[in-house]
Amino acid sequence: MTHAVLVDVVRLASGKGKPGGALSGTHPVELLAHVLRTVVERTGIDPAQVDDVIGGCVQQAGEQALNISRTALLSAGFPDSVPATTVDRQCGSSQQAAHFAAQGVIAGAYDMVIAAGVESMSRIPMGTAPMGRDASGPGIAARYPEGLVNQGISAELIAAKWKLDRDTLDAFSAQSHQRAADAASKGLFDKEIVPISVTNAAGETVAHTVDETVRGATTAEGLSGLKSSFYSEKDAARFPEAQWHITPGNSSPLTDGASAALIMSEEMASKLGLTPRARFHSFAVAGDDPVFMLTAPIPATKKILARSGLSIDDIDAYEVNEAFAPVPLAWAHEFGADPAKLNPRGGAIALGHALGSSGTRLLGTLLNHLEATGGRYGLQTMCEGAGMANATIIERL
């Protein structure tokens, strides 16, 4: 059997996804081009040998339209002969890109692929691409006559169902910032973050190397004063069980970012004299209730554990994307997961959630943690719009 291995993975430090954010002055094509170019430079591969570039991006509109992965690889200087495609599995888009890349290698269709992702939420805000009932058609309206809801409402429903109170959500969120700040202070992100030149507010060209979304001084007490983000009388009437605990403090921030992973067969890595860092062990994807929307990491994890033959106790670290605090907390409750292994370097509440980039961002953070701690198996899972989730298990080599 051909094994798919992970040779390198890089990302940009997060930028606040609003005007004035560190990456907001840079076109998203150039964000993605930068990480693609860096993968080539760091590994010394000939880009002409890349069989495909598979990129994730959610808001494929405006500057992110028209197959941004192909545009970015051309901007990065790759040969014209290298193809690319851009996929959308909502927040899991680049995790799905990694799945497609690794599965293509295992199937023998590829020898070498780059999986990547990008999102500039400052320049292409959420809602730029068609969303909601207008993009769904009459069949969805008939099936869900009360209407689907935004993800914030879904997070409220999860908090209510799993009885997660405001103090628990805020404590988890503060811990995310504290863990991320501690990891940064120890240089634990240095292996994955690659510098990019940006223009700051003073008009100076500087290297952006530090996650702009991390606030190490965050406390649960400080977060407790924030008001609910999603309360409305209409939704309160429809969902009387909701307690309206979701705030900006226990949600992931709007974020700009890009990331990329070099994936190839073991044979190709050996031929090129490259040392694989991990192999892809198992894959799963699952759907769940689109109103609860963010619960699919639970069935996806059940599926991947069954396929892999591993138990949750065999896993040395879990990266469960922190779109909202209730998501990883409900997941952990369902599996009796060790809190110390859950997002040990902080999660998206601190590090940001640049939608299309987050999958390969989590992959890099997970890999580097396994390498630093000597862990063998890592599990990554990501909630996705409309009630889906990807799950991936990697094995450190």
* Active site (catalytic) residues: 91, 353, 383
DSSP letter string, 191-214: TTB--EEEE-TTS-EEEE-S-TT-
CB of 168 closer than 8 Å to CB of 6:
no
Q: Which residue from 229, 232, 221, 245 is spatially nearest to 158, judged by alpha carbons?
A: 245
Helix (H, G, I), strand (E, B) or coil at 158: helix
Query: For residue 119, which of 26, 10, 8, 195 has the smallest C-alpha distance?
Result: 26
Instruction: List % helix, strand, coil for the chain (3-state, nearest 5).
Output: 40, 20, 40
151 burial level (CB within 10 Å; 0-12, 13-18, 19+): buried
From the number of C-beta atoms within 10 Å of its C-beta (0-12, 13-18, 19+), residue 17 rates as buried
Provide DSSP, 50-66: --EEEEE-S--SGGGTT
What is the Cβ-side half-sphere exposure of residue 88, based on CA atoms within 13 angstroms? Answer: 14
Place of tokens 């990266």: 319
Sequence-ordered list of residues with C-beta below 8 angstroms from that of 358, at least 6 positions apart, any chain: 91, 92, 94, 95, 117, 119, 257, 321, 348, 382
Contact of 151 with 293, CB cutoff 8 Å: yes
Residue 98 to residues 104, 361, 382, 392, Cα–Cα distance (Å): 10, 11, 13, 9
Do 10 and 38 contact (CB within 8 A), yes or no?
A: yes
